[in-house]
């Protein structure tokens, strides 16, 4: 998967989330946040990301 494919997939997911009712949207955004955080933490890099 290229970065562009990942960007397109993320945008598609965000569009789907935005079409949902507020409570469902909140849950979906939380799940997306957890997934992206896990991907960042598992990526090779120069130590942990600053917060």
* pLDDT computed for residue 11 by the predictor: 94
d(C-alpha 1, C-alpha 38), whole Å: 17
C-alpha 29: how far from chain center: 8
Two tokens at 42? 């598992």
The structure's pTM equals 0.69
For 29-42, write each residue's pLDDT tens digit. 999 999 999 999 99
6 Rama class: left (phi>0) / alpha (psi -120 to 50) / beta = alpha
């Amino acid at each position: 998967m290229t970065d562009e494919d990942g960007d397109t997939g993320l945008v598609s997911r965000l569009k789907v989330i935005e079409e949902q009712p507020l409570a469902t949207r909140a849950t979906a955004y939380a799940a997306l946040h957890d997934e992206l955080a896990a991907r960042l933490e598992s990526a090779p890099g120069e130590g942990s990301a600053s917060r």
